[in-house]
Structure 1
Amino acid sequence: MQPVTKLERRVMTAAEQALSRQRHVSPLDVLTGLGWIPAGRVTDWRQARAPHLEAVAAVSADRLADALEIFHRWVGSRDLRPGEVEYLAATRDRRPLRFTATGEPGRERAYRTHWMPADLPEPHRERLTARQSKPPDLVVVQALTSFTCTGCGRTDAGLLMMEDAGPHCLDCVDLGHLVFLPAGDAALTRRARKASRLSAVVVRFSGTRRRNERQGLLVEEAAVEQAERECLSDEEARARRRERDRERRAVADERFQAELAEHIGRLFPGCPPRRAAEISLHTGTRGSGRVGRSAAGRALDPDAVTRAVIASIRHADTAYDELLMAGVPREEARQRIRADIDRVLHRWRS
């Protein structure tokens, strides 16, 4: 029996995680799970700013083929059923997206095929396939600087849509009649989008986070008016539901933080219980973005829990913060206090 290679382990792990998380798995899930195709570059490809998926990959086409061969061997060892999914671009023409430079039909079909458990009920399977084949949202960008429309030549500083030839103003892409609905009211946004025959997501690039962030929607004015009437009619009921949801989340958070503190105590029996509780409260706060709220943290993965403990030690038990305030670069500051962290970890593990 041949030993399992490192790449085989990584591919199988990415496939298992995707299947467990969403009840289906595709080649794209595996390649993004490997980190070979960053999420931001997938967005570029989906918005037709790249000729094919291979063009945005961090590895060669041969390396991608190796991973997909391993993936299909893994599929053959599982009780999975295939379903072919349409991949359409987030452009007005909804053109089919290409995966490979050659466009060879067999390889393209292999990329489009998603795999689902054989025991999945047929209605569930059909819903999954329909949802995966749904065309992506049209995307409109809030310009950070003025731009010249490729269609009409007019200089503008408002909203634009990127197409093959370059930036286009909304009038040139037939979206000029839509109105902007800012993000913030989930019910209003959901209802306006449902009522609007045409809509587009508005994003703006964040220089600090290095990514596009959603700002709101473009929808028909009549759809906004209809959504506002619907929201006014059931405002009290939605307020009561929000309060019930808030209470339920608070109970779930408290339970999770208690489990996390208990897990810290098992991994680090020398850690004072009060400190373990403080760490779990800090890292397990909903919406904090800290390691305790990551998928691994919520699963109480030992590595994730250890990272949370190390982060606490770094700030509370070393001179790390003082070094940063003194202008020491972050990596150098971490190197200086590494021995201090190791000493505390050794004591807590005892």
Structure 2
Amino acid sequence: MRKIIHIDMDAFYASVEQRDHKEWQGKPVVVGGPPNSRGVVCAASYEARKFGVKSAISCYEAYQLCPSAIFTPPRFDVYKQVSQEIREIFLEYTDLVEPLSLDEAYLDVTENKKNIPHASSIAREIRMKVQVKTNLTCSAGVAQNKFLAKMASEKNKPNGLCVVLPDDEIKFLSDLKLSQFFGIGKKTFARMQANGWNFGKDLLPLREEELIKLFGKMGKYYYQIVRGIDDRPVLPFRESKSIGVEITFERDSADFHFLISTLERIAEEVARRLAKKGRSGKTVTVKIKYADFTVRSKGVTSENFLSLASDLFFQSSILFTNVWKEGADQPIKIRLLGISVSNLNSEVTESDGQMDLFA
């Protein structure tokens, strides 16, 4: 039986800013672009979240929700330094550390350097050391696989610990709202609600074949996660060459305006992921999968490093429009759109992601 810990820093960027600016403590802080701009929110303090401010929304929307918030640009060099300090603590216990971003990581402590028998004890020690060394708090989830550990780390945020024992896994997941499950987005949750499914226990009676019929290949994933099945190993740090996001439509589309609007949403999400990792890149690539499953990719390389959503959208929209014009006589419906950024300024730990969207 494996022993996996998921560590997640609490509102990391915003907490670092509050730590370094004592006068901001206890106040709503938004890390991102200036207020009333189209810049993307990288992080929001818990005080700002009470007003509905969250990462990935525009700073304009954040300002409308919380005009009293303190808006500050990100300091990625500082965040990277703190992240390295935290990682050094992890490595005191195990070399099997898989960073997901600057502020979260999986640790496999099944066999650990200090021969501590209980993963929960290790998690407590790590949380204490992180707070002493950085004056920041983190939350931890402990379970026998990565999915359960990640779900557990969300349970008692902020500054909390949750342990899911093997005998308690099904009960833990059964009582959770499906909207809380990692990998179930708003659109999918709405479809599940329409079928009367609101909690993990509501999916348990369904056979895998039924879920696949309703949700395609993701049906198998949903079947597994409500049962706490996840065999993925914890993979130590490895370099990835790009950060990107793809959207697969439920219904193929040839609506140019819809596709351009979708491309803008993807650019915003890619910008958020770049910001979360403190990265930028010179090459922007648009990926298009057509209804006949043929794939077309087109990229452009800039002299400067790009990371803002507006820049990514500008470049990708030009690329997409050029491809669209080439097939304007007989446009083929599109089933997937994606944007990726490569030629990065330094290594990253995660690449392509999937958004939840139905056309």
Q: TM-score, normalised by structure 2?
A: 0.25
Q: TM-score, normalised by structure 1?
A: 0.25
Larger Rg: 1 or 2? 1
Normalized per residue, the structure richer in helix is 1
Normalized per residue, the structure richer in strand is 2
Structure number with the bigger relative contact order (C-alpha 8 A, sep ≥ 6) is 2
